[in-house]
């Protein structure tokens, strides 16, 4: 079963580093599904941001292990997660995340 763009792109990552990357290097950061590969992420971004069709230069991913958190005597783990960096081609207008809502 094929996943939709909303299932692959969980949420945008909005931090100081990601905003600087968006402004300086035309790179968007997303929290994505752990099982998604680079081609699926590219297709999901093109589906969610229609104006970015054929304007994606590259997709890089990074996987992270969930942190161990304690609450009193009990300890648990947050889930593992994956981050995707989507770089846009030169001359492409970088969309704001709120434009697709």
pLDDT digits (tens, 9 = 90+) for 4-13: 999 999 999 9
**One CATH from 3.40.50.2300, 3.30.70.330, 3.20.20.20, 3.40.50.150 for 5-67+77-90:** 3.30.70.330
Question: Are residues 26 and 88 in contact, defined by beta-carbon separation less than 8 angstroms?
Answer: yes
pLDDT digits (tens, 9 = 90+) for 7-47: 999 999 999 999 999 999 999 999 999 999 999 999 999 99
In 90-99, which positions are buried (b, 16+ CB within 10 angstroms) versus exposed (e)? eeeeebebee
Overall pTM > 0.85? yes
Q: List the domain boundaries for the chain.
A: 5-67+77-90
């Amino acid at each position: 079963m094929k996943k939709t763009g909303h299932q692959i792109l969980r949420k945008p990552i909005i931090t100081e580093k990601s905003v600087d990357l968006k402004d300086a290097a035309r790179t968007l950061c997303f929290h994505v599904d752990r099982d998604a590969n680079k081609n699926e992420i590219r297709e999901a971004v093109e589906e969610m941001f229609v104006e970015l069709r054929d304007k994606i230069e590259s997709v890089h991913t990074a996987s992270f292990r969930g942190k161990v958190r304690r609450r009193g005597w009990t300890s648990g783990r947050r889930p593992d997660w994956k981050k995707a960096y989507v770089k846009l081609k030169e001359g492409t207008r970088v969309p704001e995340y709120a434009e697709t809502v």
